[in-house]
A and B are shown apart, each in its own frame.
Chain A
Amino acid sequence: MRTVTTLAVLALALAAGTLARAGDSKTFDREVSAEPHGVVEISNTAGEVQVSGWDRSDVSIHASLDDDVDRVEVTSSPGRTVIKVILPAHSWHGGEAHLRVQVPKDSELRVSTVSADTNITGVTGIQRLNAVSGNVTTDIAGADLELKTVSGDIKVKGRGLPAQLRITSVSGDVHLQNGGGSLEANTVSGTLVASLEGAKSVVARTTSGDMHLDAKLTRGASFEATTVSGDLEVRASADGGYAYEVSTFSGDITDCFGGQQAQKGYVGHSLSGSRGDGAGRMRLKTMSGDVQLCDRT
């Protein structure tokens, strides 16, 4: 049993954050040419993936790899760059790879991880992101986004530009700030928080997770939010107004509009009405979750 180490090594390891990993990592650096609107695919199991967009027509990769990681494989063909972290076959302890990748900012970016967290900035092209338990954080600028996790939390920051946004998680929380265009968002038990500018179509669904939706809708927009037992809070405004129908089986309905009371049927409550000219359409449904509908200020 080895017991001898020096205090300096221990101190350095403490500062680095992981005593056990002192001296256990290797690095990888590579740069390849890439087309400005090409596809960049990155896959990693554990660790981290950080991607940033730049103005150069190159893909640059810097990685810190645990000893348990076999290698990083980079293949480059016209219009496509693929970066894969390769673990040894039958690896019984997943090694971590911390990737920092710079890509042409208009690239179509595809990232797939298991437990590695993903962090993306400055990429303005289409993004298709998958993670199992890793968290995903990204910013978007008018291009389509397809983002899926199993348990990882999701944070998306937009610029209010129209795009097709599909965000799904099984149990992760979803936070979307300043989205726009068309949103389809699903989580079973996570919390869904979204703010939207110029939204044309919104379909939001949870089973037990709460939803907090803040939306400025375009004229004639369609907005639908459904949950079984989560609570639903909606703040909305729309060009031309919107007609709304709120229904719940056993939850409560409150609105900020004053005057109209929810109708109590034999079973359940409902509330319907319109704001402004009623050009858009809003449907809010729950089984037992409470619903609150107010104007967006």
Chain B
Amino acid sequence: MPRSIDPPRDLWPQIEAQLGAAGAAAPRRRTAPLRWLAAAAMVGALAVGVWIGRDLMPLPGAAAEVAQQPPANPAGANPGGAAVNAAFVSDPRYARQRAELMGSVQAQLNAMPAPARAKVAASLSAIEAAKKDLESALGKDPSNALLQELLINTYQDEMRVLTDVHEAGNAGRGI
């Protein structure tokens, strides 16, 4: 069975006429990165630079709202009472590593089959949404240790995802 069947008549003249209506010059290629990349680049400058297990290091620049919030985080308070305000921490090494990974991730995503790309893009969106939700919640309760831990987990997961997608470029070519 033939895959290719010539149309019964030449359709090009009608197509060409409508290309004129669509604009003879095709629109410029979009150069803006995915929205999440742009957001991530901004966040990269404010990134958490602390890789933690349980203990949270006190960091400078605690938000002024802390003093005005009711005390006592009921959801498992950090025994030391320390708190991390992620927005005011930056670690140049973390930021550099993240920026490098982000540069390669776009290329890896483009190389993936569309169903896989869609799934990974959904995960990256989920991470972005999680960061926003956590930061928003921390804005209301900055000393909440649960939220702080979940936010830092999310940053760690983001780094893991970026690394895994970056390394996907070497997959299938030998261990």
Contacts and interface: CB of A to CB of B under 8 A. Distances in A.
B120 A171 contact: yes
Interface stretch (B40-48, B86-94, B137-145): B137-145
Contact of A265 (B72, B112, B137): B72
Given A189-B123, A228-B133, A113 B172 contact: yes
Contact of A150 (B70, B76, B122, B165): B165
B40 to A, nearest CB: 14
Contacts of B141: 266-268
A2 B2 contact: yes
Contacts of A287: 130, 133-134, 137, 146-147, 150
Contacts of B126: 188-189, 207-208, 229
Given A43-B173, A265-B72, A287-B130, A133 B116 contact: yes
A229 B76 CA distance: 18
Contacts of A19: 1
Given A247-B146, A270-B74, A188 B127 contact: yes
Contact of A248 (B3, B75, B157, B164): B75
B75 A170 contact: no
Contacts of A3: 2
A113 B116 CA distance: 14
A111 to B, nearest CB: 8
Looking at chain B's contact residues, the main secondary structure is helix
A44 interface: yes
Interface in A112-170: 112-116, 128, 130-133, 148, 150-152, 168, 170
A170 B174 contact: no
B129 interface: yes
- Band of interface residues on B: 35 or more
A204 B155 CA distance: 16
A128 B175 CA distance: 10
Interface in A262-289: 263-270, 283, 285-288
Contacts of A115: 113, 116
Interface string B1-26: 11111100000000000000000000
A76 B53 CA distance: 43
Contacts of B157: 186, 188, 205, 207
Contact of B171 (A128, A132, A189): A132
Interface string B131-172: 001100100110010110110011001001100110010011
Contact of B122 (A1, A189, A288): A189
Given A5-B1, A266-B72, A43 B161 contact: no
Interface string A161-199: 000000010111000000000000010110000000000
Question: For B1, B120, B123, B129, which residue has the most chain A Cβ atoms within 10 angstroms?
Answer: B123
B119 interface: yes
B27 interface: no
A245 interface: yes
22 contacts: A1-B5, A2-B2, A20-B3, A82-B174, A84-B173, A131-B171, A132-B112, A133-B116, A171-B122, A171-B123, A188-B123, A189-B122, A208-B129, A228-B130, A228-B134, A247-B146, A266-B74, A268-B144, A268-B146, A287-B134, A287-B137, A287-B150
